[in-house]
Each structure stands twice: as structure tokens, then as C-alpha cells.
Amino acid sequence: MANRPSAKRWLPLEANPDVMNQFIWGLGVAPHEAECFDVYGLDEELLEMVPKPVLAVLFLYPLTSQSEKERIQQDKEIKEPPAGVYFTKQTVGNACGTIGLLHAIGNITSEIKLVEGSYLDKFFKATANMDPSQRAAFLENDNEMEVAHSIAATAGDTEASDNVDTHFISFTCVNGQLYELDGRKAGPISHGASSTSTLLQDAAKVIQKFIEKNPDSINFNVIAISKKT
């Protein structure tokens, strides 16, 4: 089903682990369960510095005419989301940071415990049997999430502006496969076999290909969501 972009626009989230931690902890991810960390580079030595195990990866990259052409082409090839993969479309402008976090957390609920009765606990239970378009509509009309997003968007180190040309996506491992989850695309994209122990390295290889297509840009950022042990 094609999605109608909403007239609603939020302020974008800053690619800042501190901001994202306060956001997800406030919504129901217990601080002792998971935490966001900066990934300072994609070479093996810097990847090894990231606390393990890594459960999901958020990636911010610049939107270009080339990336938009590739998205349109990919949409022609994407099928329905595979069983067990939590995926939602994005209809709210600039909501990609929140969508990325929902994709990340929605696919690791078997690995972390959400606070019972919290926003995220209720959200994932309410949307569990919805299709991606229904989930997008649910989120679009969810005032509690809009308020939480707004608070997080204004908590960063830089002044929030709704005029941005960057986009968040996430990577998670579901049923032994690495999935790229982008709410602007028709569905998840599989990038082959992966596991909790190799997720960060596997995602880094895909991310490196994004960067190679736009080597002059500095508007890339990688954040890992790691399980606290």
C-alpha cells in the first residue's frame, strides 16, 4: 500500500547518544538493559571499542539525488516484511530518528526487557498485529510520542531546525539475517547472514558502501545500541 506523506512535521532528532538514551529510557527501555554509544569509525580497532553485545545500529546519512533514485529502484524490488521483522512506514516529516529507534527496539524486545506498562511496552503490544501503514497512522496520531519526540529534539547541543537533508535508518539482526530498516522504503532490506556477535561489523560493511557513494560529505553518524551486561 502506498503511503501518503503527512502534512505533520516534527523537529529532527540530533545524532547524539545522550539525547537518544534519555529518550528511550524515558519511554520504557530500562537504563540497565540497553544504552546508545557513539561509533567513532568503521575500522576494526574502533569497532572493538564499542561495548558489546551490540543489538542494533542507527545510521545517519545525507539524502542526495542519487540516494533517492536508488530508493525508488529498491522499492520496486522489496516484498512484504518477513515474518518476525518489526517494520513501520514513516509518514511524519523528520520523524526518521524516532522511527529508527522504534525499528531498533521493536526488533530486540526478545533481548531486552521493557518496563511493564511503559509507553514502549504499550506501543509495541498495540501495534504488534498491524501492517506497516497502520503502524505509521497510529504513530502519526499518537500525541504522547509527539510530545516525547519534541522534548528529545530540543535537548541536543545544536539548535533544532526542520530543514534537514539527512536521514536515519537502523540495522538489526532478526532470525540470523541483517536487516536495513528505513521507514521511507517499502519494507526491510536483507543484507545477508548476521548474528548478535557480528552485527556491528556486518552493519559497518553496509554503511561503508553508503559512505563510498558520497565520499566528500561529513554528514554521516553511527550509533550503536548495546545491551548492558
Cα 38 to Cα 60, 67, 97, distances in angstroms: 12, 24, 15
Question: In this predicted model, what pLDDT tens digit does every residue of 134-178 receive, in sequence order?
Answer: 999 999 999 888 888 888 878 766 655 555 689 999 999 999 999
Task: Tell me the average pLDDT across 13-33.
Answer: 94
Question: In this predicted model, what pLDDT tens digit does every residue of 119-139 receive, in sequence order?
Answer: 999 999 999 999 999 999 999
Cα 88 to Cα 103, 155, 213, distances in angstroms: 7, 25, 26
Residue 3 pLDDT greater than 60, yes or no: no
Residue 2 pLDDT greater than 90, yes or no: no
Q: At what angle do helices 132-140 and 96-106 cross, to 10 degrees?
A: 130
Q: Find which of 12-16, 62-66, 107-111 is predicted with most confidence, using mean pLDDT.
A: 107-111
Superfamily covering domain 17-226:
Peptidase C12, ubiquitin carboxyl-terminal hydrolase (3.40.532.10)
Domain residue limits, the chain: 17-226
Supply the pTM of this predicted model. 0.91
| 1 confidence band (pLDDT: 50, 70, 90) | very low
Which residues are known catalytic residues? 96, 167
Q: Please tell me the predicted confidence (pLDDT) of residue 176.
A: 96
| 189 confidence band (pLDDT: 50, 70, 90) | very high
| 5 confidence band (pLDDT: 50, 70, 90) | low
Question: In this predicted model, what pLDDT tens digit does every residue of 54-74 receive, in sequence order?
Answer: 999 999 999 888 888 989 888
The burial class, CB within 10 Å (0-12 / 13-18 / 19+), for 216 is exposed
